[in-house]
């Protein structure tokens, strides 16, 4: 029997854990550990408590600075791990307006752009009023943080959709008008779905699955039993999937639900159940009718985020699609029987509300500075001419002042197809795809030729960017240089690496949770008879 002094309520556990690991642990964090079976739920009669020893055992499994340095080297800059930050801080306000693979956390931008971030920093590279460039803008992290810090910023991205995401994050709009348009579209959508019986059908199915999962897949008890091998997961799941599938087919037949679309030609045809596709097209048509371009673009991104969550796939495969799923299935992520979605209503409402909330949060922090993302090829774009077409006043400032430097995360060799990750958006909104102009895309793989082309592409971007920067520029590139390409890239761009920061990456979305690091390269103009300094 466990000593009562060694038992904590959820709130008490959060206080103890915060002291134990030296960082803030909230009651929600403890509840997460319980719900996902990381820590055993104890107590009776609805009173949830946890044992101190269970918490101790769990936190022993979490790698710390000493563990990581043992595996990755003593040159690891632990200050850049940002291990003291909660997820809500690393995904604050507009940074989570839309999912995006391969983005860095805002604290990393703050560290190098803000001269007050770290009292141990001996150098300041940017100051308020400077202009920073991100030639691989992605989802706009550098632009957003530059705005917070009072720094002007120019982004460039070959993807039209990426440029859209980046620009709506930093754009000032009327939240009242946005809310009005959201309310109208939501009302129309609810009326449309009422005629299709989608919501009634899904509610019936949800009620059945809720009761079934509570009885046969209780959380977190089921996950704990699987982890402790008290249940043979494979045979247990097969038995219950068969039972639930039979009921599922009965409800499908009762409501005459059509699962597959008649066509299978485009991404939207393949990855969405018929009822979902009809609702997507309906909302898309309503958005097109909005006269205010800026409001229309924000709602386009809200719909894109909704569409992404409603694809016919498992919860575990949302980030990397495998095959369409149109029936109930055992979800390893949640440890229960899950189902595909048949209506977008709840997700549309959730994301619309979340978007307005995040835009309002950022409004309280924004500064009176300029940020914009240009849609173009960073290897050859005339930055000031392209900027002139979007913002004359900003272009004049940039021509006079020039760009102070770069903070960017170039694509990694052969890891991500940036257009393909948002294929549904290109299909739905008719954006032009320029996949062949991506540098280092996954489709080009990691062959010797692919690495050479990657290095040439990055150095081309740096050479082109130099034309618009001051002479004494500072360039910071966040990279995984496992192929040792950046020394040559710098030389080809007539730059030199003057410093390196080896950063541990703690919160990875991939299944591989092994210790992993990336390098922030600091480059400057190449000097004659100069030598590079490495901060190993």
Burial 377-402 (b: 16+ CB within 10 A, else e): bbbebebbebbbeebeebbebbeeeb
DSSP states along 374-407: EES-TTT--HHHHHHHH-HHHHHHHHHH-EEEEE
Six token digits for residue 510? 């991939």
Burial of 16 (0-12, 13-18, 19+ CB in 10 A): middle
Please tell me whether the overall predicted TM-score, pTM, comes out greater than 0.85 for this model: yes
Top-confidence residue, 378 or 219:
378
Q: Which residue carries 């769990």 as its tokens? A: 58
pLDDT per residue as tens digits for the range 127-182: 999 999 999 999 999 999 999 999 999 999 999 999 999 999 999 999 999 999 99
Q: Which domains does the chain have, with CATH numbers?
A: 4-60 (1.10.238), 75-166+366-499 (3.40.50.150), 175-360 (no CATH)
SS3 106: helix
Cα Rg, the chain, nearest whole Å: 25
- Please tell me the predicted confidence (pLDDT) of residue 5: 65
In the predicted structure, residue 403 carries a pLDDT above the cut 70: yes
In the predicted structure, residue 535 carries a pLDDT above the cut 60: no
pLDDT per residue as tens digits for the range 57-87: 888 877 788 888 888 889 999 889 888 787 8
Top-confidence residue, 414 or 405:
405
**For all residues of the chain together, what is the average pLDDT?**
90
In the predicted structure, residue 4 carries a pLDDT above the cut 80: no
pLDDT per residue as tens digits for the range 259-315: 999 988 889 999 999 999 999 999 999 999 999 999 999 999 999 999 999 999 988
Rounded distance between C-alpha atoms, residue 140 and residue 142, angstroms: 6
pLDDT per residue as tens digits for the range 424-439: 999 999 999 999 999 9
Rounded distance between C-alpha atoms, residue 65 and residue 81, angstroms: 9
Rounded distance between C-alpha atoms, residue 259 and residue 342, angstroms: 9
Whether 63 contacts 78, CB under 8 Å: no
- Please tell me the predicted confidence (pLDDT) of residue 406: 98
What percent of the chain lies above the pLDDT cut of 90? Answer: 66
């Amino acid at each position: 029997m466990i000593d009562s002094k060694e038992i904590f309520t959820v709130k008490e556990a959060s206080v103890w854990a915060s002291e134990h690991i030296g960082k803030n642990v909230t009651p929600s964090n403890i509840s997460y550990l319980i719900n996902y079976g990381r820590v055993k739920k104890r107590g009776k009669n609805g009173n949830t408590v946890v044992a101190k020893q269970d918490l101790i055992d769990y936190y022993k499994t979490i790698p710390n600075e000493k563990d990581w340095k043992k595996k990755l080297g003593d040159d690891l800059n632990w200050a850049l791990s940002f291990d003291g930050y909660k997820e809500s801080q690393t995904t604050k306000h507009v940074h989570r307006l839309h999912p995006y693979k391969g983005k860095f956390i805002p604290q990393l931008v703050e560290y190098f752009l803000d001269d007050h971030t770290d009292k141990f920093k001996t150098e300041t590279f940017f100051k308020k009023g400077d202009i920073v460039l991100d030639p691989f803008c992605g989802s706009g992290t550098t632009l957003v943080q530059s705005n917070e810090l009072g720094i002007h910023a120019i982004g460039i991205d070959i993807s039209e959709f990426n440029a859209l995401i980046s620009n709506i994050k930093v754009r000032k709009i009327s939240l009242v008008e946005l809310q009005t348009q959201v309310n109208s579209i939501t009302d129309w959508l609810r009326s449309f779905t009422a005629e299709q019986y989608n919501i009634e059908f899904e509610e019936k199915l949800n009620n059945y699955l809720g009761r079934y999962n509570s009885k046969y897949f209780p959380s977190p008890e089921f996950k704990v039993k699987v982890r402790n091998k008290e249940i043979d997961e494979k045979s247990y799941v097969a038995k219950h999937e068969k039972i639930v599938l039979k009921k599922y087919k009965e409800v499908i037949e009762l409501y005459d639900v059509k699962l597959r679309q008649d066509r299978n030609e485009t991404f939207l045809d393949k990855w969405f159940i018929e009822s979902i596709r009809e609702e997507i097209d309906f909302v898309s048509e309503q958005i097109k009718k909005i006269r205010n371009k800026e409001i229309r673009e924000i709602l386009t991104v809200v719909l894109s985020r909704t569409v992404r969550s409603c694809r016919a796939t498992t919860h575990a495969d949302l980030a990397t699609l495998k095959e369409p799923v149109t029936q109930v299935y055992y979800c390893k992520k949640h440890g229960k029987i899950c189902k595909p979605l048949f209506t977008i209503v709840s997700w549309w409402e959730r994301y619309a509300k979340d978007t307005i909330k995040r835009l309002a949060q950022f409004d309280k922090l924004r500064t009176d500075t300029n940020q914009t993302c240009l849609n173009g090829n960073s290897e050859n774009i005339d930055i000031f001419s392209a900027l002139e077409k979007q913002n004359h006043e900003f272009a004049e400032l940039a021509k006079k002042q020039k760009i102070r430097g770069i903070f960017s995360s170039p694509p990694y060799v052969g890891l991500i197809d940036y257009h393909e990750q948002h294929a549904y958006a290109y299909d739905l909104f008719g954006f032009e795809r320029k996949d062949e102009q991506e540098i280092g895309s996954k489709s080009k793989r990691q062959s010797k030729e692919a690495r050479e082309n990657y290095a040439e592409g990055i150095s081309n971007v740096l050479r082109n960017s130099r034309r618009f920067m001051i002479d004494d520029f500072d360039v910071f590139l966040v990279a995984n240089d496992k192929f040792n390409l950046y020394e040559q890239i710098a030389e080809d761009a007539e730059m030199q690496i003057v410093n390196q920061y080896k950063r541990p990456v703690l919160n990875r979305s991939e299944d591989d949770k092994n210790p992993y690091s990336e390098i922030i390269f600091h480059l400057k103009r190449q000097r004659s008879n100069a030598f590079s300094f490495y901060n190993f």
